[in-house]
Amino acid sequence: MDDERPDVLTIGQLAHRTGLPVRTLRFWSDEGLVPPVARSAGGYRLYGPGSVARVELVRTLRELGLGLDDVCRVLSGSTTVAEVAEAHVAALDARIRSLKVSRAVLSTVAKRGSTVEETTLMNRLARLSAAERKQIIDDFKEEVFGGLEDPRLRDRMRDYSIDLPDDPTPEQVDAWIELAELVRDPGFRARLRTWLELNTPVPGQGRPPGASIWWARQVVQVVAEVRKDGVAPDDPAAAEVLSKLFGDTDRAAVLRSLEAGLEAGAEHYFRLVARVRGRNSSPDATEELRWLAQALRAAGAAEQV
């Protein structure tokens, strides 16, 4: 320490007081963040008592992720810590969203064992802008739901929104990737359109025979209980269940609706939409629906004997 200035610190003493390496303090000093107050007779840097507090401030700002330029601006008074913090919060939010997307893509790649081409496609789908995502869904809605004879359903579909929130979870991004691939598939669109036509009420007429399977979940609940009891689709007890569920309804029409929905994967589609929206979907009823289709076929075959 300089005998004529007992209040100053050498860089070694400043390092000891702050717990930082000398090389870090020398770098910050060279960048103007912690300038020396004087030089010793031998040319060594000397720091004043206020340098300790300044070092602590620089360390805090750097640990919070601020770059050297931002730290200099704060120290010079050209900006405030609050202003810089606000900008960094926005940048961190964007980075977090990007990391969530990357995590979802990598998770999906790992689960599927995807090829390079599939991975590239998934990454592109996940990073689409909100406008691009909306266009995919709008094109899908127009092809699948457009021109349906039920005006109430058309109106509902026009306002039917399927999009990621501003801060999606990895599960939502994962569901969106799968849903985007699905709704862009021409085959899926055609199958879903066929299923909708079989289940959409015609003006002036009642609900189609098979519609209750999809819009009334108690049908699935009844079948779930029967399956739990071990009843096979071709058992006499299954025929009694069909009578309870459908009465004298045209069962051939019910079966057509059911088979169309199974072929389209309507149940899987509904569950993906729920996941993208962050909602709890109903339990997967695919096995119950398959049991019901088998029971209807068995009953139909028995009637022809």
The pLDDT score that the predictor gives to residue 156 is: 67
Which is higher by pLDDT, 247 or 292?
292
> Between the CA atoms of 126, 128, 131 and 134, what dihedral angle is there, to the nearest 10 degrees?
-40
CA pair distance 23, 230, nearest whole angstrom: 75
- Cα 115 to Cα 108, 109, 149: the distances in Å are 11, 8, 42
pLDDT tens by residue, 195-236: 988 887 776 666 776 666 665 678 888 999 999 999 999 999
Average pLDDT over all residues of the chain? 85
Average pLDDT on 28-57 reads 90
Pick the CATH number of 9-76 from 3.40.50.1370, 3.40.50.261, 3.90.230.10, 1.10.1660.10: 1.10.1660.10
Q: What b/e string do you get for 176-204 counting C-beta neighbours within 10 Å, with b at 16 or more?
A: bbbbbebbeeeebbebbbbbbebbbeeee
Say if residue 117's pLDDT is above 80.
Answer: yes
| Amino acid letter for position 249 | T
Q: Domain boundaries in the chain?
A: 9-76, 128-304
- What letter does residue 47 receive in the DSSP assignment? E
> The tokens of 253 are what?
């029409």
CA pair distance 255, 236, nearest whole angstrom: 18
Say if residue 159's pLDDT is above 70.
Answer: no
CA pair distance 215, 208, nearest whole angstrom: 11
Name the band, by pLDDT with cuts 50, 70 and 90, for residue 1.
very low
- Cα 65 to Cα 12, 13, 85, 156, 252: the distances in Å are 26, 27, 10, 47, 66
